[in-house]
Amino acid sequence: MNDIRKELEKRILIIDGAMGTMIQRYKLTEADYRGERFKNWHCDVKGNNDLLNITQPQIITAIHKQYLDAGADIIETNTFSSTAIAMADYEMQSLAYELNVAAVKCAKEAINQSGKTAWIAGAIGPLNKTLSLSPDVNNPGYRAVTFDEVVAAYYEQVRGLVDGGADILLIETIFDTLNAKAAIFAIKKYFHQNPSLKKEIMISGTITDASGRTLSGQTLEAFYTSIMHAHPLSVGLNCALGAKEMRPHIEELSQIASCYVSAYPNAGLPNAMGEYDEKPEDTGHYLEDWAKEGWVNIVGGCCGTTPDHIKHIAEHVKNIKPRPLPVLEESLTTE
């Protein structure tokens, strides 16, 4: 993975855009999600986008290829919910490992078809259960899941992503830092047991509102301090906010992070219908400003962004120098 570090020294890399937005364009039915293999599944699976890695791999591959053609250097696997914990919603816990392997295969196929050099980032989502907050307002001490259960779920996901051939592991859309710590622990545990397979880690948190905090209440600086022990390739922000709202947080992060900084905001804030209206050229201009300020190393899009957004972002930042890594003082040692 030294090659991605060399590339990051030279230019701003482009990460892809939204997967869900693109899947919606296909207007898939329950039968499409099920495919032949799950046509008699005992509960509804429509909306389980990760299942499409198995039942409609050609669609996922085609979406990845559109992003590559638009200028993406880093492709995220379609595995945001590919853990046993998240798949329990569809009673498909047993598929978790297979979904991750299949997702990397889709990304690899897209890269082969495009003929480009690109990196596959195994996407590790935040889970639908949180370790820091109680789902029961009457019992604040209650947790729907334990730390060990979260670690086990993430460990299985990591194993699938690595076995599939992901280049990087991306812990993203973090709203609960304790969940992220469980993911980091699972990754470290896996690579301790399989040192020859070690990969770079990217980490991306989510600031949920104007307070500048994560959903579990941490400031950006506290969040960074909580995860820096993982020695990530990059730390950044994605989701929840559009570029306009994310700007001050990216500026702050660029000043405290000792690693590379990533940013992939939504296409603005959702309208009353939950849709995203920000035009690709507008997103491109916002991120161009961040690049000119020297704040970013990796940029792309999250909810509502399309290959057109990624194309504009790539064009707007292609001639701008990346944020230089800060020079860290050597720690003093005493004899």
Report the mean per-residue pLDDT for the chain.
Answer: 95
- What is the structure's pLDDT at 319? 97
Please report how many Cα atoms fall inside a 13 Å half-sphere around the Cα of residue 202, on the Cβ side: 34
| CB proximity list for 110: less than 8 A, separation 6 or greater | 61, 62, 64, 65, 68, 75
Question: Which amino acid appears at position 104 of this protein?
Answer: V
In percent, the amount of the chain with pLDDT more than 70 equals: 97
Strands (E), the chain: 13-14, 74-76, 119-124, 168-174, 200-205, 234-242, 260-266, 298-299
Q: Which two tokens stand for residue 26?
A: 């296909």
- What is the structure's pLDDT at 334? 45
Sign of CA dihedral 142, 145, 148, 154: negative
- What is the structure's pLDDT at 335? 44
Q: If pLDDT is split at 50, 70 and 90, which confidence band does 215 have?
A: confident
- What is the structure's pLDDT at 329? 60
Domain residue ranges in the chain:
2-317
Which H or E run includes 53?
helix 52-55
In CATH terms, 2-317 corresponds, of 3.40.50.720, 3.30.360.10, 3.20.20.330, 3.40.50.10320, to: 3.20.20.330
**pLDDT single digits (tens) 61-120:** 999 999 999 999 999 999 999 999 999 999 999 999 999 999 999 999 999 999 999 999
- What is the structure's pLDDT at 210? 77
- State pTM to two decimals: 0.95
- What is the structure's pLDDT at 209? 79
Tell me the C-alpha distance between 245 and 88, whole Å. Answer: 34
Residue with tokens 């509502």: 304
- What is the structure's pLDDT at 330? 54
**Does the pLDDT value for residue 332 go beyond 90?**
no
**pLDDT single digits (tens) 122-180:** 999 999 999 998 888 899 999 999 999 999 999 999 999 999 999 999 999 999 999 99
Q: How large is the average pLDDT for residues 172-195?
A: 97
